[in-house]
């Protein structure tokens, strides 16, 4: 049986009762938030577009993925896209189209209005300030209820929901999702101290829990070592791009152009850093780490001179400092 492409499904002249495009999966380690039911009811009311706002690492995308899966079957068309500098670029990428033309936009609008009183919902992840002046915004907003995630605090025509940090109990729950060994009450107190120091970033909680789970040290010794370093989250950028399996030079330039950082840590599925990205960071005094390398650097007496295991046999790099953590 021939596999139907995204475009064939989308542009089919016979509309399906419910068409879900580019569906995100709910993270298995998802910690439920009390606002989910309220936001779900708000989306279904279709009164206003919704901005899910918050600083990086607070769980905006994870919350949006949960909401998408909660409401998708209640609309005729449910669409998930990642914002890539413009609405039309996001549509093209979502439709697996290599180019953008007027026909694509025309077919898009036609599909969004293929029957009377059609109910459509569009989720757009990681919207930046280009969206504010995007001339094609109205293509989405006049045809669907739109939910976006962004670090921006407000967008005209959107109701804002700010994603706040998890409470201490939920931070412990999230840590336990990635740390599979026994945790004592004393350990929990140290975890709370650590996550509060890092602003309760869900990405950093995941990073530390995963690394602690791999460590040969007992949890209290491991956490004590990190707390003793006195590091903060201000110079650390965690990348968890589900569409990529590695941190590349383009990631390096994109992130360093927006943030002033000391290190970039990738926790993508395959957890890899390209050699070019590593070398570029080394030349500029910025660590580009996988998760395990980052934790290895933290465990060094002098993190700034940490050398990756993969490079320890390379005489050309021996003794070269890497990153500025702490």
The CATH number of whichever domain residue 109 belongs to comes to 3.40.50.300
* Closest-CA residue to 194 (of 177, 179, 175): 175
Which of 162, 183, 207 is the C-terminal boundary of a domain?
Answer: 162
Predicted TM-score (pTM) of this structure: 0.71
Instruction: Determine, yes or no, domain membership for 326.
Output: no
Same domain, 241 and 257: yes
Predicted pLDDT at 325:
34
Predicted pLDDT at 318:
38
Whole-angstrom distance, CA of residue 215 vs CA of residue 231: 19
Predicted pLDDT at 42:
92
CB 264 within 8 A of CB 287: yes
Same domain, 287 and 179: yes
Instruction: Determine, yes or no, domain membership for 217.
Output: yes
Predicted pLDDT at 187:
94
Overall domain count for the chain: 2
Same domain, 240 and 274: yes
Q: Which residue shows structure tokens 């609309």?
A: 75
Predicted pLDDT at 198:
77
CB 121 within 8 A of CB 19: no
Same domain, 276 and 147: no
Instruction: Determine, yes or no, domain membership for 51.
Output: yes
Whole-angstrom distance, CA of residue 82 vs CA of residue 53: 15
Q: Tokens in use for 319?
A: 């003794």
Same domain, 121 and 180: no
Predicted pLDDT at 131:
94
How many C-beta neighbours within 10 Å does residue 51 have?
A: 23
Whole-angstrom distance, CA of residue 79 vs CA of residue 20: 6
CB 210 within 8 A of CB 291: yes
* Helices vs strands, H then E, count in the chain: 13, 11
Q: How many CA atoms lie within 13 A of 311 on its CB side?
A: 18
Which of 104, 129, 162 is the C-terminal boundary of a domain?
Answer: 162
Per-residue pLDDT of the chain (326 residues; tens, 9 = 90+): 555 565 555 555 545 556 767 788 888 778 888 899 999 999 998 888 999 998 877 889 999 999 999 999 899 889 998 898 888 888 888 776 656 666 778 888 888 887 788 889 999 999 999 999 998 899 899 989 999 999 899 999 999 999 999 999 999 999 999 999 999 999 999 999 988 887 888 888 887 888 888 888 899 988 887 777 655 554 566 665 555 556 778 877 877 777 777 777 776 555 678 888 888 887 887 878 776 677 666 666 555 456 666 666 553 433 333 333 33
Same domain, 102 and 145: yes
Predicted pLDDT at 234:
47
Instruction: Determine, yes or no, domain membership for 318.
Output: no
Same domain, 144 and 200: no
In terms of residue numbers, what domain contains 198? 168-311
Which of 141, 162, 183 is the C-terminal boundary of a domain?
Answer: 162
Same domain, 36 and 66: yes
Same domain, 158 and 252: no
């Amino acid at each position: 049986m021939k596999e139907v492409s995204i475009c064939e499904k989308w542009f089919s002249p016979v509309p399906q009762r419910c068409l879900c495009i580019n569906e995100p999966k709910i993270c298995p380690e998802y910690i439920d938030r009390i606002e989910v039911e309220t936001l779900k009811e708000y989306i279904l009311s279709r009164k206003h577009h919704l901005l899910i706002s918050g600083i990086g690492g607070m769980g905006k995308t994870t919350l949006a993925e949960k909401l998408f899966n909660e409401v998708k079957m209640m609309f005729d068309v449910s669409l998930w896209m990642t914002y890539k500098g413009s609405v039309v670029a996001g549509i093209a990428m979502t439709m697996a189209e290599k180019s953008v033309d007027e026909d694509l936009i025309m077919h898009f609008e036609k599909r969004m209005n293929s029957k009377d009183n059609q109910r459509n919902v569009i989720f757009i992840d990681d919207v930046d300030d280009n969206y504010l002046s995007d001339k094609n915004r109205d293509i989405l907003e006049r045809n669907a209820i739109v939910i976006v995630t962004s670090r921006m605090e407000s967008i005209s025509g959107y109701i804002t929901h700010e994603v706040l940090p998890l409470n201490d109990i939920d931070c412990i729950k999230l840590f336990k999702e990635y740390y599979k060994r026994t945790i004592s009450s004393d350990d929990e107190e140290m975890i709370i101290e650590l996550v509060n120091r890092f602003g309760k970033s869900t990405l950093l909680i995941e990073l530390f829990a995963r690394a602690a789970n791999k460590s040969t040290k007992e949890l209290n010794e491991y956490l004590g070592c990190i707390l003793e370093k006195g590091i903060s989250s201000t110079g650390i950028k965690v990348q968890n791009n589900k569409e990529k399996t590695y941190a590349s030079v383009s990631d390096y330039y994109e992130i360093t152009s927006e943030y002033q950082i000391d290190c970039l840590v990738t926790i993508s599925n395959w957890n890899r850093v390209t050699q070019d990205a590593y070398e570029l960071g080394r030349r500029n005094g910025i660590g580009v780490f996988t998760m395990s390398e980052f934790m290895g650097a933290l465990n060094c007496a002098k993190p700034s001179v940490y050398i990756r295991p993969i490079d320890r046999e390379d005489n050309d790099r021996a003794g070269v400092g890497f990153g500025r953590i702490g």
